[in-house]
Amino acid sequence: MGWITFSTCITTENATRADSMKEEFTMDIICTVLANEKSLAIIYHVLNEFIPNCERLSPEYAYPTEKVDYAFKSEEEMVRFFIESKGISQTFYWNKYEDNPNGIMLGASLTTDDKLIISLTFNGTKETEATYFLKMKSFLNSDIGVISYINPPEYEDGKDFIDKYGVK
């Protein structure tokens, strides 16, 4: 059985309209935005903004492609390795189980064409959705993003993400 992904475009005008409407609560809203640059600083900056004091990843979350028997010593070393590696993709997910009323999970997808795509998965209303989406786009200095529900948007790499979800 396949999943259906729904996408929508949020503008400032639509976000303002959403603010004035009483909305139903939605589970698994996914706001996905292309970052302006690919760096460890951007990832940690976004983490600190949206889920401060989140659970840190185990250094065993991923392994270097050329040395599968090597274990990273820290989350930072592991993430930095994949940021600096060209031509490979890796996605990391952070979560916070306490003091996280919207159940935010943050994803950082490093693409084979050297792009960084950030996603926030959370529960909320249309107002929450619009607020987080516009805040992410502003925070990442990007006009390229999409909102989906339950399943993340599909894309092969950064170029494909731009082609599918960029401003037309």
pLDDT in tens, 110-156: 999 999 999 999 999 999 999 999 999 999 999 999 999 999 999 99
DSSP conformational letter for 101: T
Domain-embedded: residue 25: yes
143 belongs to a structural domain: yes
Residue 140 lies in a domain: yes
What residues contact 111, with CB distance under 8 A and at least 6 apart?
A: 89, 117, 157, 158, 161
Q: Beta partners for 107?
A: 93, 119
For residue 22, tell me if it sits in a domain.
Answer: yes
- The parent domain of residue 155 ranges over 12-165
How many structural domains is the chain composed of?
A: 1
Judge whether 5 lies within some domain. no
Residue 122 lies in a domain: yes
Residue type (1 letter), 57: L
CA 88 distance to own-chain centroid? 18
Buried b (16+ CB within 10 A) or exposed e, 14-42: ebeebeeeeeeeeeebbbbbbbeebeeeb
Q: Quick count: other Cβ atoms within 10 Å of Cβ 106?
A: 22
Which residue numbers in the chain have pLDDT < 70?
1-23, 68, 168
Instruction: Say what the pLDDT of residue 94 is.
Output: 98
Please give the model's pTM, rounded to 2 decimal places. Answer: 0.84
